[in-house]
Structures are given as structure tokens and as C-alpha cells.
Structure 1
Amino acid sequence: MSGFSYKDVYIEDGRRVLEVNMLPEKYCNFDCIFCPIGRSKNKIDTQKSFDKIDSSLIELENMIENTKAELIFINSKGEALVNDKIGDIIDFIKAKGLPVRLLSNGYLLGRDEYMKIANKCDEVVGEIKTITEKDFQKVQRPIEGYTLAEYISNMASFSKQYKGKFLFEITIIKGYNDNEESIQKIKNIIKEISPDKIIVARMEDERFKKKLGITDERFEEISNALLNV
């Protein structure tokens, strides 16, 4: 029985992308109210050992061969970096000659032990959703002691030394970061982090879309403003 799960392969920029989740359930350092996975019963930011990965790696190898994957996207239920085998898993994929993209919320990227792991990847995605300390604590409900300033600083530190492609995903949320003052703050954050690519997203999950989604017109306006920083 494998501890990994997969999404159907899709084409992105001409490459066949295979997404893999390497956590058995949600393990995260945040507990965002709008997380599509649900609440964080396991709120951690230190590495944890899960089941032996031998069978999981065999299945991953078979999935790579059967789907003819050209990019492996580690997109897990929570923060993938807390899996203590993640470095070995990345090495396994790289040994197959395939590039690896890692999704992290980004908070741990400034810590040396996690930075070293992320540096193995060809692409790393960090993200931001709220832009005031009050909203960060109230809505994203991080581990106690976390701050928004450190969150941004950690991603900036990682991006500065990273040799791969750092992608920065900004989710626009109605009532939290969609006004002009917020857009200016996000522009400043982009300049501080200096990513290789900016991705502007919005709430797509039907459970949150009605209350937290923005109109197509406003989304286009904000996207144009942020993609031209």
C-alpha cells in the first residue's frame, strides 16, 4: 500500500506534469480557514517519519513510466517539507532525469535545513494570501510565534540564494487583499522577494468562492497590476 496519491497527468507549457502528494493526511504549519483540504489536526513545522517509502517509490517509478511524465510536481496535503523522507524522494526523482517542482507555503524556506532540501528542486513555489499581521493570525492561523514579516523574509532569503526558478503565487481574496492599498503592499512584497515568476490566483473552491471570490473584471485588473511590477 503506497502512502502517496496522484492527480491525473496534465499538459503545462508542453510538458506532461505528474502531481504527487506524499502526506497520508494534512500536516501543515498553518490552519487556513479557506483551506480546501480542511482543518489542520496535525499542526507541525518539524519533520515527521511516516510509513516506509519503499513501496511508495516503486509505485512512483511505475507512475512516471506509465504516464510518461516530464515534470514531477510535489503538491501535498499541507507542507510537504515536514516529511522526513522528502530529500530522498527528490533525489529518487532527479535520478530518473526528471525536473522537480515543490509547492510550499513558503514559511519554512528561510530555515537552513529546509532551504537545503528545497535547493535540490528545479522549481519551488511559495505563496501568500493575507498581507496584514492581523489577517495572517486570524485567517491563516499559523503556529504560535509565526509572524507575517518573518514569512515574507523567509521567502526573500530563499529566493536570493536559490539557483532554480522561484515561483510566487498570490491569491487574491475578497475583503482581505483586493483593494488598491493592498495591491500596493503586494507590489512591495514582490519587490522584496524578487521571484522569477508571479502567479496571480483567486478562490476557485465552490465552498469559498461566493464569499471570498472576486469578479472576473477585478481579477483582470489586479493581475495586470501585479504581473507588471
Structure 2
Amino acid sequence: MGVFSYKEVYIEDGKKVLEVNVLPEKHCNFDCIFCPIGRSQNKVDIQRSFDDMDSSLKDLEIMIENTKAELIFINSKGEALVNDKISYIIDVIKAKGLPVRLLSNGYLLGRSEYIEIANKCDEVIGEIKTITEEDFQKIQRPIDGYTIEDYISSMVSFNKQYKGKFIFEITIINGYNDDEESIERLKIITKEIAPDKVIIERIDDERFKKKLWINDVRFEEISKELLSIC
């Protein structure tokens, strides 16, 4: 029995999408206070080996065949790039003639070893949730030495050389990046990254809604403002 886990196949733009998590438990370079997975006991930014990769890959191939998936979305418990078999996992999927979408928080996309891996994917998602150094450290709790400046520049530099579709996901958080000054800063960041697509999200976990939720009216206003620059 492998360690990968899957979501129900769904249709997006007429294609069957299969989401796969390639980590047995949370491994991430951040430890965000609002993470739906919970606290990170494994805060890492270097690759690690995991057991049962052979059986996991066999299970993945079976899932692809049984679901007739047309797009594989690697959306993991944390940062998928830290699985030391991630490059091979992508190769297995690509060998079946299927496109790959990879979700990364984006910080590691500034490192050459991870750039090479991400470049194999047809789509890469990077994300941002805070825009000041203070908030980045306070609520995303990255590995020591990380900075918001390096975070943004990693995605900027990655997308300049990336030939696939770069998707930029912005999460609006009440009290952190929902004021006009923050929105203007997010516009500047988005223009710097120059993504092919922008997705606007909000904190949707019931545990954090009371403090971090953006109401529908304000969320719609912010979404229109940010999407207008694309």
C-alpha cells in the first residue's frame, strides 16, 4: 500500500483532474498559523526520502488508468518539492502523455535544483498570503533566514525563465492584506511576477473564519481590483 493520497476526480475546463498528495505527512518550509493541515512537525526545505515509493507510484499509475484522468495536479501536504522522488514522479506522469500541475508555496522556486524540477511541469502554482516582513514571520512562520523579499523574487525569477503556465494564487486575509495600501502592493507584486493566471482566495477553514474571513462584498471588490491588472 502506497503513501500517496487522492481527492475525487473533478472536471475543470472540460478535463478530468486527479489531485495527488505525494507526502505521507506534512513537510513544509512554512508553518502557517491558518494551515488546514495543522502544525508542521517537519519544517524542511531540503529533499527527504520516504518509504513505499515503488508501491505509491504503482498506485498512481492505477489511479490514472482507472479514473481516465487528463490532468494530474500535485497538491500535497506541505511543499511537494521536498520529496526526493518528485522529479521521477513527474516523469512517470509525463510518460503517459498527461500534463502536470504543481502547487508550490513558491519560495523554493528560486533555487536551481527546484527550478529544474518545476520546469518539467506544464503548470506551476505559486502563492502569496502576506506582504510585509513582520506578517510573513508572524503568521507564516517560515524557516529561519527566510524573507518576504526573497519569497517574491524567487517567483519573479522563476517565471521569467519558465515556459509553462504560471498561476499566481493570492489569499486575502482580514486584517493583514485587505486594506487599500496592501491591495496596491499586491498589484505591484503581481505585475513583477507577470503570471499567466491569477486566482484570488480567502481563508475558508471554519476554525479561522471568525478572525481571518473576508466578507463577500469586500472580497468581490478586492478580487475585481486585482484581476483587473491581468
1:89 aligns with 2:74: no
User: Is 1:200 aligned with 2:189?
Assistant: no
Separation in 2, partners of 1:188, 1:120: 28
Distance 2:84 2:126 in 1: 20
User: Take 1:46 and 1:21, find their aligned partners in 2: how far apart are those partners?
Assistant: 18
Look up the match of 1:2. Answer: 2
Output the aligned Cα RMSD. Answer: 0.6
Indicate conservation of the 8 Å contact 2:2/2:52, yes or no.
no
AA aligned opposite 1:87 = S
Deviations 1:98-138 (CA, angstroms, capped at 9, x unpaired): 00000000000010000000000000000000010000000
1:204 aligned partner, one-letter code: D
In structure 1, what is the Cα distance between the partners aligned to 2:152 and 2:57?
34
1:64 aligns with 2:64: yes
Name the SS of the counterpart of 2:171 in structure 1: strand
Q: Secondary structure at the match of 1:198?
A: strand
State the alpha-carbon separation in 2 of the partners of residues 214 and 29 from structure 1: 26
Q: Which one-letter code corresponds to 1:3 in the other structure?
A: V
Identity between Structure 1 and Structure 2 (%): 77
Equivalent residues in 2 for 1:120-131, closer than 5 Å: 120-131=120-131
Q: Deviations over 1:149-197 (max 9, x none)?
A: 0000000000100000000000000000001000000000001111110
2:158 match: 158
Matches of 1:58 and 1:85, distance apart in 2:
14
1:21 counterpart = 2:32: no
Aligned mates of 2:54, 2:215 — CA distance in 1:
46
Alignment correspondent of 2:226 = 226
2: distance between equivalents of 1:5 and 1:213?
A: 28
Rounded to whole Å, the distance in 1 between the matches of 2:11 and 2:202 is 21
Aligned to 1:118: 118
The residue number in structure 2 matching 1:47 is: 47
How high is the TM-score relative to the length of structure 2? 0.99
The amino acid of 1:123's aligned partner reads E
Q: Distance in 2 between matches of 1:16 and 1:72?
A: 9
The DSSP-based 3-state class of the residue aligned with 1:205 is coil
Question: Quick one: distance in 2 between partners of 1:18 and 1:58?
Answer: 15
Q: Give the equivalent residue in structure 2 for 1:133.
A: 133
Count of residue pairs brought into register by the alignment: 229
Deviation (angstroms), 1:52: 3.8
* In structure 2, distance between residues paired with 1:178 and 1:33: 18
The runs of at least 4 consecutive aligned structure 1 residues that moved more than 2 Å come to none
Counterpart in the other structure of 2:99: 99
SS of structure 2 residue aligned to 1:17: strand
State the one-letter code of the partner of 2:77. Answer: K
